[in-house]
Amino acid sequence: MNVSKTTTRILFVTLLLVLISGGQVLAQTSATAQQSSQADKKDEETNLDTQLYVLVATNQENDDAKMPAPLDSVIRQLRASLPFKNYRLNATFINRVRNGGRFSLLWVVGPMTASGAAASGTLTPSFNEFRVNGVKLIQNAAGQQLVRIDGFVFGARLPVQTGMAAAYNPSASPIINAGPMINYESTGLNTEFSMREGEAVIVGTLNVTSSGDAIILVMSARRTMK
């Protein structure tokens, strides 16, 4: 009889310990999941400021223009690896994007008015594009914070004349009007890469003129303070 009571007590205590232990595990799991969910939500609400610097590299005898301080190390790297004499900043694009988001810019270059056409001799514009399909904070194997850039595109759609088009009217003069046939060709840089947060990195170079000048693309990104 005593043995039976003792056994019952042991089983009861064991069951109680199992229930307590299971509750602690469930509580820890729930807390971990909640923390993970809060971290994911915080990451989703994080914004990043991106800067794209468009540099022009040339061998013309011009004095170097003053560069923004974040580009000092980039200019030293360019001078050590490329044969150009001078560098100048042509444009800066600043964009804010949500962590994991994307952005796109498209703008017209060339004449859109009669006065612009008179100056350039053509009514046909060209189009420039800057697009990033994904900007996301990640960590590498060493735990270092990186910014991953997916689907980076910088380029232009340029008009190319492929022939002449003529309009016919059988009841009048055989040829009423004639004009150029224009097709648009895409040119530019497409890539994907990762970089350290806040560090300006060289994305790529483009040769753009017969004189040998080049466009150099430099980008950086960091989390916003607000």
Which residues 6+ apart lie within 8 Å of 128 measured at CB?
A: 106, 107, 108, 109, 155, 156
**Are 54 and 18 in a shared domain?**
no
Query: Where is 138: in which H helix or E strand?
Result: strand 126-139
Q: Judge if 115 and 206 occupy the same domain.
A: yes
Residues 195 and 96 in one domain: yes
Q: What mean pLDDT is reported for the chain?
A: 78
pLDDT above 60 for 201: yes
Please identify, among 30, 45, 60, the residue that sits at the C-terminal boundary of a domain: 45
Residues 50 and 222: beta-carbon distance below 8 Å: no
pLDDT in tens, 73-86: 999 999 999 989 89
* pLDDT tens column, 24-74: 554 455 545 454 444 445 566 899 999 999 999 988 877 657 889 999 999
What domain range includes position 219? 47-223
Same domain, 144 and 57: yes
Say yes or no: 111 and 147 in one domain: yes
Amino acid at 141: A
Task: List all residues 6 or more positions away from 64 whose beta carbon is below 8 Å from its beta carbon.
Answer: 86, 87, 88
Q: What are the pLDDT digits (tens) for 99-117?
A: 999 999 998 886 544 444 4
Q: Total structural domains in the chain?
A: 2
Rounded to an integer, the average pLDDT of 85-90 is 91
